[in-house]
Chains A and B, each alone.
Chain A
């Protein structure tokens, strides 16, 4: 199978990347990747290992990413160099778990500090198919990482290109983190098509972003609900943006009013708009709805992307064949991950998963379009980041010592509910400090993390925390 990351020089003189000062052709990009590979092989050798890679929307990250893919080294993205230090207990554990010895940081391959490197008793033979380890939430200390194969990346890129109108003459601009599944899928699909990418670390909240968009005549971009919240706040729908041909949204459900605004903007300005559903566990994308579908079925996630399909199963895992009956959404496709890894031991002889249980509840209408109706797992999205409420609750217990607590959340806030009859001033002040510390740990603006005191944490008949009633109660406060 030819991979999008091995054949980049076939696009020759076509523009590949704008790095902030000039355009690079695919040939020039390929030259940089070759040079980087020579440098890396001298240091890393040929033995497959997990290599940490700092990821930002820069040419250097792209070159490093392509070089590591071509060398068949497994990539572990980190947001910044500062996250891998001896002072950080989580990074010590991370390096130990995955036997990470090197950090590829922009120009240089750094050996990690001694304290982070644990001499391995025996070298571990990592499965040759594992291309990436991807976190599923913002924190580096996540318990498990998604293993994606080279085939996963290639298939998902191909299947996305079968429904998105990406052309070689297109230019996109980065709006999402490079290491985020959706952001990465935009990069991969554009490389596959020989299209151009404006790499920028400026956000939509900065003038430079809009200048680049206009100077380079950007023809498409993507965004998570939060990106569109910002764009709408900036009254993006009043802009003409003549070069923009289409835009995409994924990474969580858009508020209905925002969806309506975007749909009518697309319609009035003759632009295409795609809403997509996906998970890191499926490399990136699983379904899509185009403008036509969004007009008639605004709440639908559409149908599975080409060459893949959905099924619904009931609690006994039996197939649901009736329309409009709720069940767990199960996905079949070549982009389903290899599995989760907690340590390097999970990376030996990995068999691809036959299907993915998404953890989402859905129904299917009589035309084969799907609607998400709920979640089995307690997961919310804030600012595009996924938070597993059970994980947050476990972490919260460490911060709010000696407190009985529960964690609930919606699209706007994460709530820590603390059982207390009449909280003293001291307790309230102490909890506020702990709240700020937890927010910092979760890399969440502290305004989005709230603490509420409740006389009794509501429980179900069998004594378990009743999260939906708790959320209702806290919303009613």
Chain B
């Protein structure tokens, strides 16, 4: 599984949504499932799955799937 797939899996499972809903444009608060509670779960799952430790600003800025890729790339995760 490549990182893109892995990232989509993490989102689908943390937000409890179908995999095909996880597209780059998917953003915080645009679906009921992605609220602040789910965001917390998402952050810890991302940190686990990609073995990173996110900064405060990154947690707040991680407001879409595309943004997540951008942030994870800083930690040398390639997509």
Residues of A within 8 A of B (CB): 203-207, 210, 226, 229-230, 233-235, 238, 383, 436, 439, 445-447
Which residues on the A side are within 8 Å of B70 (C-beta)? none
A233 touches B59 (CB 8 A): yes
CB distance from B37 to the nearest CB of A (A): 5
Contacts A230-B40, A383-B37, A445-B38 hold; do A206 and B16 have CB atoms under 8 A apart?
Answer: no
- With contacts A205-B40, A206-B28, A233-B40 taken as known, whether A447 is within 8 angstroms of B16 at the C-beta atoms is yes
- Evaluate contact between A233 and B37: CB separation under 8 angstroms: no
Instruction: Provide the bound-state CA to CA distance between A170 and B53, in Å.
Output: 36
23 residue pairs of the A-B complex, CB under 8 angstroms, read A203-B35, A204-B36, A205-B36, A205-B40, A205-B60, A206-B28, A206-B36, A207-B61, A210-B60, A229-B40, A230-B36, A230-B40, A233-B40, A233-B43, A234-B60, A238-B56, A436-B16, A445-B37, A445-B38, A446-B16, A447-B14, A447-B16, A447-B41
Chain B positions near chain A (C-beta within 8 angstroms): 14, 16, 28-29, 35-41, 43, 56, 59-61, 63
Q: Which residues of A contact B63 (CB under 8 A)?
A: 206-207
Q: How far is the CA of A436 from the CA of B36 in the complex (A)?
A: 19
* In the bound complex, CA of A323 to CA of B65 (Å): 56
Q: What 14 new A-B contacts, CB under 8 Å, besides A439-B16, A445-B41? A: A203-B35, A205-B28, A205-B36, A205-B59, A205-B60, A230-B40, A233-B40, A233-B43, A234-B60, A235-B56, A436-B16, A445-B16, A445-B38, A447-B41
Query: Which A residue's beta carbon lies closest to that of B16?
Result: A446
**Chain B residue contacts of A230, Cβ below 8 A:** 36, 40
Alpha-carbon separation in the docked complex, A339 to B35 (Å): 33
A54 to B44, CA, bound (A): 32
Q: Which of B41, B56, B61 has the most CB of A within 10 A?
A: B56
Q: Distance in Å from the Cβ of B31 to the closest Cβ of chain A?
A: 13
What is the predominant secondary structure among interface residues of chain B facing chain A?
Answer: helix
Assembly CA distance A238 to B43 (angstroms)? 19
A74→B37 CA distance, assembly (Å): 31
Which 10 residue pairs spanning A and B have beta carbons closest together? A203-B36, A205-B36, A446-B16, A205-B39, A234-B56, A207-B60, A235-B56, A383-B37, A445-B37, A447-B41
Q: How far is the CB of B21 from chain A (nearest CB, A)?
A: 15
Max chain A C-beta neighbours (<10 A), residue from B28, B29, B37, B43: B37
A220 to B46, CA, bound (A): 32
Chain A proximity of B45: nearest CB distance (Å): 9
How many Å lie between the Cα of A230 and that of B59 in the bound state?
Answer: 10
- Taking CB atoms, residues of chain A closer than 8 Å to B14 are 447
Contacts of A206 in B (CB 8 A): 28-29, 36, 60, 63
Chain B residues within an 8 Å CB radius of A203:
35-36, 39
Chain B residues within 8 Å of A205, by CB: 28, 36, 39-40, 59-60
Contacts of B39 in A (CB 8 A): 203, 205
Look across to chain B and name the residue whose beta carbon is closest to the beta carbon of A201.
B29
- Chain A nearest CB, measured from B15 CB (Å): 9
Which residues of A are found within 8 Å of B37, using beta-carbon distances? 226, 383, 445
Given the complex of chains A and B, what is the CA–CA distance between A226 and B35 in angstroms?
13
CA distance A446 to B37 in the complex (A): 11
Nearest neighbor of B35 in chain A, beta-carbon distance:
A203
Contacts of A238 in B (CB 8 A): 56
Could you tell me the distance between the alpha carbons of A226 and B61 in the complex, rounded to whole angstroms? 20
Chain B residues near A447 (CB-CB < 8 A)? 14, 16, 41
A205, A229, A230: most-surrounded residue (chain B CB, <10 A): A205
CB distance from B33 to the nearest CB of A (A): 8
Q: CA of A317 to CA of B53 in the docked complex: distance in angstroms? A: 53
Residues on B with C-beta less than 8 A from A446 are 16
CA distance A207 to B27 in the complex (A): 14
